[in-house]
């Protein structure tokens, strides 16, 4: 059953509202700008595509267009942060952090500058733009950086909350956003705290736990409902913060269920699954299965078709749960 403490959208399974997580950023950064005059937004010639144009319209004097120059984008932002600003940088994740990772490492993370790096158009949901723009390695890149908080919102509402939280974090933050509209599973009342996992679906005597992040959270909830209908109770947990991980909750839910599945729109290597495996290997070895892109690049196609092609859909999560339960012995 849906965990009542999660306070999710009542229409989640029947007629869910849909919105792109990037639109949550667009709304959230305007709110952040209204609350704190130190907030500024920079972009690399992608204001509309990243939803940064909402901030530009509201605060044109606090908006910086650097052009197609992603290394300059984050270096300028670091300089502004050193003078007391709270900069948000916006570009496609394939370019930031994909193209400018060294500048992020050296000018932001190394110096612990409170810059919020927003990587847009992540994952295969980028659709027809194809492999060059479908960033599937960004979590691995960014969670490796000391001082860097890494957040992957599950929907537009959580994207708004994550943006507001990042503006208050006073440390480097990476925010991950998608282009395609996906179900809005949370509400204004749904709790959000950096570094705190959220139990969204609570199984009675769960046989497995699904840890999901980003746009895969809605698929995890659909999978949990289907499994319960088949007599296989599970937990479904939203891990919106990849770093710092909620280690205590991860270990607790793994102990309760004895088996774990991770789901993410990212490469298997270095993402959510790898991060949780590190925790469980150290604290509580547990059978695991990974729903993720398996060492492949993306390709052009419709977003829904690509989700199925790369085995990220509801049926794949259900199959992974049944497989890992069978391994428990």
What backbone phi and psi angles, to 5 degrees, belong to 302?
-70, 145
**Active-site position among 48, 61, 70, 158:** 70
For 135-194, strand residue ranges (E) read 149-151, 173-176, 182-183
Q: Kindly state the greatest CA–CA separation across the chain.
A: 62
Cβ pair 73, 105 in contact under 8 A? no
Q: Tally DSSP H helices, then E strands, for the chain.
A: 11, 14
Is there a catalytic annotation at residue 302?
no
Q: Return the bridge partners of 262, or none.
A: 211, 290
State whether the Cα torsion 312-5-170-155 is positive or negative: positive
Q: Is 153 helix (H, G, I), strand (E, B) or coil?
A: coil
Catalytic residue numbers, as ranges: 70
């Amino acid at each position: 059953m849906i965990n009542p403490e999660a306070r999710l959208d009542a229409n989640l399974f029947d007629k869910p509202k849909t919105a792109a997580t990037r639109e949550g950023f667009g709304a959230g950064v305007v709110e952040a700008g209204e609350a704190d005059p130190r907030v500024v937004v920079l972009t690399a010639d992608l204001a509309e595509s990243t939803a940064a144009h909402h901030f530009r319209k509201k605060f044109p004097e606090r908006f910086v267009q650097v052009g197609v120059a992603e290394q300059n984008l984050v270096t300028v932002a670091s300089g502004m942060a050193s003078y007391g600003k709270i900069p948000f940088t916006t570009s496609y994740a394939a370019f930031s952090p994909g193209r400018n990772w060294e500048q992020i490492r050296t000018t932001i993370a190394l110096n612990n500058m409170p810059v919020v790096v927003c990587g847009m158009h992540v994952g295969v949901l980028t659709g027809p733009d194809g492999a060059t723009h479908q960033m599937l390695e960004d979590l691995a890149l960014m969670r490796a950086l000391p001082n860097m908080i890494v957040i992957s919102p599950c929907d537009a509402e959580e994207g708004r909350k994550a943006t507001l939280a990042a503006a208050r974090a006073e440390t480097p933050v990476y925010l991950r956003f998608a282009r395609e509209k996906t179900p809005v599973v949370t509400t204004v009342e749904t709790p959000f705290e950096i570094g705190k996992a959220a139990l969204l679906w609570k199984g009675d005597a769960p046989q497995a736990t699904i840890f999901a992040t980003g746009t895969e959270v809605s698929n995890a909830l659909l999978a949990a409902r289907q499994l319960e209908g088949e007599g296989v109770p599970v937990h479904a947990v939203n891990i919106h913060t990849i770093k710092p991980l909620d280690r205590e909750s991860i270990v607790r839910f793994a102990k309760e269920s004895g088996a774990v599945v991770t789901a993410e729109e990212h490469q298997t290597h270095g993402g959510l699954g790898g991060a949780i495996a590190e925790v469980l290997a150290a604290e509580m070895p547990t059978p695991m299965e990974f729903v993720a892109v398996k060492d492949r690049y993306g390709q052009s196609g419709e977003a829904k078709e690509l989700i199925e092609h790369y085995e990220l859909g509801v049926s794949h999560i259900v199959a992974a749960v049944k497989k890992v339960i069978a391994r428990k012995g």
